Amino acid sequence: MSSRPDQDTGRYQKKSSTEGQHREEKSLRHSRIVRGFSRDSASLKRTVSICEENFPTALPVLLDVVGGPESRDEQTQEMLRGKLRILQADSTEVNALFMELSTHLISINSEENMMFVTFKTFEEIWKFTTYYTVGLLGRCMEGLLLDQRFCLSSLEEDIRIQVSIQEETLSLIYKGILMQEGSFFASCSTNQMFDSSTSGGDLYLEQGDIAQFEPPFLGSGWTMLCLADGGRGTAPRPAVKPVIPFYQWFLKSCAEGVLVGDGKPSCDFPLQFARGTCLATMEYDAGGPDELSVAPGDRIIIVGLLVSCFEWFTGRKEATGEVGLVKTSLVEPSTDITQSEDIFLDGEERTLFSVQEDKVLEETTALLQKRSQNDTGQKYKLDTMSCQDSEKQKSLGSSSKVDAQTDLKRNIQRILDQGKHSSPDPVVTVNGTLKEPRLATESKNPIPPCFTVHPVVEGNTNTENFIPLLSFLEGRDYRAEFGVLYGLGSELLASSIFTGHSDEDELIAFLGVARETARKKRLYWPHTRLCFLLGKLCAGRLKFSQARVYMEEALSVPRESFTDLRLLASIYSRLVPIYLLQKNTESFFALAERLAALLFGIPDCLACLEDNSALKYILKKAVLSHNQMAEARACYQLAKHHLTHAEGLRVVPYLERLLVLSGEAQRTWGTSPSQEYLTLGRMYSELQLPHLSVSSARRASLQPGATLTDCLSSMALAMHNVNRLYAFTEQEASLPPEVAPYLHQALSSIQGEGSDRYHVLGHRIAVCLSQLFCKNSMVGQAICRMHTLINNTGRSLCISVPERNSALTWLAWLHIDNHQPDVALGVLDLVLASMPEYCTTPQEGVVLNMRGVALRYMG
């Protein structure tokens, strides 16, 4: 299962046609605009001469309608040109879209099917190229350029807007903007020397090394900052190429303490992202309880992943079962080690959101019913036709139509007979809105007990008050109750786990005495965990030096190896940002490397992080080492971390990058592209970017591995944002034509499913599709959908009698609208005969009124 960037907007279909001249002109125009283009965003990295001063500012964007039957090609191209001519006259709509796409419209050339856009910052180029690469740009253009009726008429065809951009031109625009901004990150095109301004000698950079460069100023040479060690150098004309815009943004966003230093990875382990078993090559004595001692020849089972650009990995001795950190430089591959194709750990949650299929089916079914009922007042306009129209239709009768009407009546009667024993109540009764899915990171850990804080009395040596807490904190192994304790912030820790104290000072004093009691009694693990809790509380009060002392003490207490690796990760994750804040770069890098080993090895360690500095360090090192798998996992973890902390704006760049990486590698690495596009669409929706949200929803539904749940979730997301674009209120909202592809896809997915819930969903989807066709003056298609529904209804009727009668009444109205009052009358008579003789309902009144209309049209 893979997702190629811009897959549905990035391939041209070669067609033969009698319209040879049109094809040739189109091909020539295409080759003139697109010759030599590469859709891979990596093409932005191509080398550009640094002495160039004249950079283009306008980017041509070529548009084309592709797919569908050959006979419609000229029709669709003319439709596109016509829409572009309208936008030339009034560009309000396209300007609103391009503002969302982070670009600026210069002009439109409708005859060439082309738009010209420009950019003001490299961030705008970064966002625009990302939308292009992951296939959102073409989808946004479809919403702008394809009318609703056209979309409905092409449900069976793969018709789409294809977008092509001149990436060579875009690369030059990007370089020009970077030159104007003064400094940028670039990689060396060749091995080269720089005059060092820090060491007094020469500074050597290899091909591919990434550094920060500043263009010449007032006749000076180029200056360079080496990210590996902070060295600075100069050169007159270095051969460099700017890194891709995402790297540019990410590296600029890193704090200096994260960005500069830690050296280049020196390990020559042959696999970048390994699973399996490796062999120790030399003897090593553990330097602390978090490390493993190894001897030459020891077989070390990799716990999770060994990532070659990091100094440590989590390993388990095959002989003893001990688990701890192992230096990557001390091992070599064994015969049963492999390069991982998956960025996830065994037992790790693979989605950002946890979606319950039953819930989605139930809520979608109710949502469709609610939305379709919003049209009730618009459905039956009984004065819109003349009797002359129906007379025209009468003359079209034939024996085949009579047979079809007979079959229709037979199937309707069968359905009515089945409904005699059905409940009059609807099967599904919910509020008709789709709720937000639950975060996959939401904790399911049991809640630990609540402990009473007793006032500390100086000189009182009674330790009975601490026994419950010390007993709970005992034990070297991780327990589920500890998960909440490790993950809670300082405020929640003080208010939910502990009670009886008036303020945090009183709580800290109580825990301080408990820590001293544990130390005297040599209760090593309660001592360790109490130090951790005290450090967390101090950090919450911004007393970072005191917090650091407690956390460092927690690491020095145990007399045996750490088996509670969640605790170890929690301690590391609190110390890392403190070292960064206090500019203790050596300790920051050393501990960030160890934390990286745990994040690559132990599921759920990510939940321990309150700060993203370690994750940004991991991503930086993956980028500098050109380790794409490590980069993908770091992006996933950054997205998940920010999503857990409700920081939607920070989720988006990393999730977008993960989709780009997946497309470039043409594999998913164990992720679900549909889920990623859905999550991205939800984030865009929160950020008030409705065009991008709708486009993400469509991409999610089109992924090869998309499930029915993905399709229905995409439909709900698209529906919400389309109504937002049209400024509809919840009360005004109905089913927009844009949801027709989702309904069509969902209906195909549930064909053959035997469950009642699928029957109910299929019934409502078919009725909704019929309503959409009718609203867009495609009554024949609307009737066809209803006939298919009736003919395919099984022996088991799962919908309520009122809903069944409503659908049949709708069918009768469609036949009246289609100038077939005789067919409508036959349907209405069957429905009326099925109703109780002495029970008058509003529905019966509708049937009687419509029956009168049919009789009037028949003369």
Instruction: Identify the pLDDT of residue 149.
Output: 79
Q: How far, in Å, CA of 820 to CA of 786, rounded?
A: 15
Contact predicate 178/122, CB 8 Å: yes
Instruction: Identify the pLDDT of residue 380.
Output: 62
25-50 as b/e, with b when 16 or more CB fall inside 10 Å?
eeeebbeebbeebebbbebbbeebeb
Instruction: Identify the pLDDT of residue 385.
Output: 55
Query: Burial, 334: exposed, middle or buried (Cβ in 10 Å; 0-12, 13-18, 19+)?
Result: middle
Chain-centroid distance of CA 458 in Å reads: 56
Instruction: Identify the pLDDT of residue 179.
Output: 92
Domain layout of the chain by residue ranges: 20-177, 357-434+750-857
Instruction: Identify the pLDDT of residue 438.
Output: 61
Q: How far, in Å, CA of 593 to CA of 412, rounded?
A: 70
Q: How far, in Å, CA of 330 to CA of 294, rounded?
A: 9
Residue the block writes with tokens 């100069």: 234
Q: How far, in Å, CA of 594 to CA of 382, rounded?
A: 75
Tokens of 49: 């001469």
| Start-end of H helices in 187-281 | 245-253, 256-259
- Rounded to 10°, the helix 673-686/648-665 angle is 150
Q: What's the one-letter identity of residue 731?
A: Q
Instruction: Identify the pLDDT of residue 139.
Output: 93
Contact predicate 798/415, CB 8 Å: no
Q: Hey, which residues does 280 pair with through a beta bridge?
A: 331
Contact predicate 38/5, CB 8 Å: no
Q: How far, in Å, CA of 83 to CA of 603, rounded?
A: 52
Instruction: Identify the pLDDT of residue 735.
Output: 85
State pLDDT tens for residues 551-570.
999 999 877 788 999 999 99
Q: Could you write out the DSSP letters of every residue in 595-618?
A: HHHHHTTSTTGGGG-S-SHHHHHH
Sign of CA dihedral 653, 139, 722, 782: negative
State pLDDT tens for residues 218-271.
777 899 999 988 889 999 889 999 999 999 999 999 999 999 988 777 778 999
Relative to beta strand 498-499, strand 451-452 is parallel
Low-confidence spans in the chain with pLDDT less than 50: 1-52, 376-377, 392, 394-396, 424-433, 443
**Nearest 5°: CA angle at 535, between 532 and 538?**
150
Ramachandran sector of residue 761 (left: φ over 0; alpha: ψ -120 to 50; beta: rest)? alpha
Residue the block writes with tokens 């230093």: 261
Instruction: Identify the pLDDT of residue 44.
Output: 44
Tokens of 292: 């493993």
Going by C-alpha positions, the residue among 462, 409, 423 that lies closest to residue 825 is 409
- Residues with Cβ within 8 Å of 244's Cβ and at least 6 positions away in sequence, in order, are 41, 42, 44, 45
Q: How far, in Å, CA of 364 to CA of 714, rounded?
A: 11
